[in-house]
């Protein structure tokens, strides 16, 4: 039996892992899907003050208060940021770090930085124009059904579930840069990438080329799992994602 802590990306909560969680538990594993503050069933806690530090604390407290050890800690998309932050604080509690459509990004990087400077400024401009000014809206039903690669594999039921349960993301969680001590605390941990939109060979090429966003994939004990689908495999390919995670135990 292995112990998993699962952290989803923007707009999602523990609900997004339900089919993955059920399959892992049926196989005898201990599974703790996390709902970050301001999302999912904790949407009532959303505020301007919710930031990346808040979400790192959510992950740390899940592990500490459940007294978990030898944890396989899984971060999807934005979830990779709080997972990396939590891993630096408590590497002795972990058995492996897993990044699903994510990765250990450099110190000083934020989720907003991943969009590129022009899109980042466009997002911030749209936020200022909105009445609330601090919430990032989830994709609309039309966007989910548009057929662009990021939404690949989401059938009608998955899109309906996403639309019904996804909630706006607190902006400061995406805007606050991740700060790391860079003292090697995580270097002894096995790392795994589950890549969906990028073939493994393309990832290896980006590492070899020295792309700054792929620097964290070098110099550690990495394994790779390729799961061709869109950006939300827990919704589009839950059985295969569960199997990929179970194979790590």
Q: Bridge partners of 202?
A: none
Q: CB burial class (10 A; 0-12, 13-18, 19+) of residue 144?
A: buried
Q: Running along the chain, 249 residues long, what does each successive block of 10 average in pLDDT? A: 97 98 98 98 96 98 98 98 96 96 90 80 74 85 95 96 96 93 74 94 87 78 93 98 96
Q: Is 77 a catalytic residue?
A: yes
From 18, 47, 77, 161, the catalytic residue: 77
Q: In whole angstroms, what is the distance from residue 200 CA to residue 224 CA? A: 7
Phi and psi at 53, nearest 5°, equal: -60, -40
- The pLDDT value recorded for residue 85 is 95
Supply 24's token pair.
């892992």
What does the pLDDT look like over 129-164, one tens digit per residue? 765 778 999 999 999 999 999 999 999 999 999 999
Q: What is the residue whose two structure tokens read 């309906």?
A: 160
**pTM score above 0.75:** yes
pLDDT above 70 covers a percentage of the chain that reads 96
**Cβ–Cβ under 8 Å, residues 101 and 231:** yes
């Amino acid at each position: 039996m292995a112990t998993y802590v699962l952290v989803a990306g923007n707009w999602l909560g523990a609900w997004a892992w339900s089919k993955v969680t059920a399959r892992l538990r049926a196989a005898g594993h201990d599974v703790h899907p996390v709902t970050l503050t301001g999302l999912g069933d904790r949407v009532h806690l959303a505020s301007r003050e919710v930031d990346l530090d808040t979400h790192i604390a959510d992950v740390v407290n899940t592990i500490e208060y459940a007294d978990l050890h030898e944890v396989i800690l899984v971060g999807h998309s934005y979830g990779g940021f709080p997972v990396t932050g939590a891993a630096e604080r408590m590497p002795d509690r972990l058995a492996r770090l897993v990044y699903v459509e994510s990765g250990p990004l450099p110190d000083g990087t934020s989720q907003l930085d991943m969009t590129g400077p022009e899109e980042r400024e466009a997002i911030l401009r749209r936020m200022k124009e909105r009445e609330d000014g601090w919430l990032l809206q989830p994709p609309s039903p039309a966007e989910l059904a548009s057929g662009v690669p990021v939404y690949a594999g989401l059938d009608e039921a998955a899109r309906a579930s996403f639309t019904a349960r996804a909630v706006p993301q607190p902006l400061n969680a995406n805007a606050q840069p991740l700060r790391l001590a860079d003292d090697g605390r995580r270097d002894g941990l096995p790392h795994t990438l589950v890549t969906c939109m990028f073939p493994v060979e393309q990832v290896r090429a980006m590492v070899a080329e020295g792309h700054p966003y792929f620097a964290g994939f070098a110099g550690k004990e990495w394994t790779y799992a390729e799961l061709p689908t869109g950006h939300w495999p827990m919704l589009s390919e839950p059985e295969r994602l569960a199997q990929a995670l179970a194979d790590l135990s």
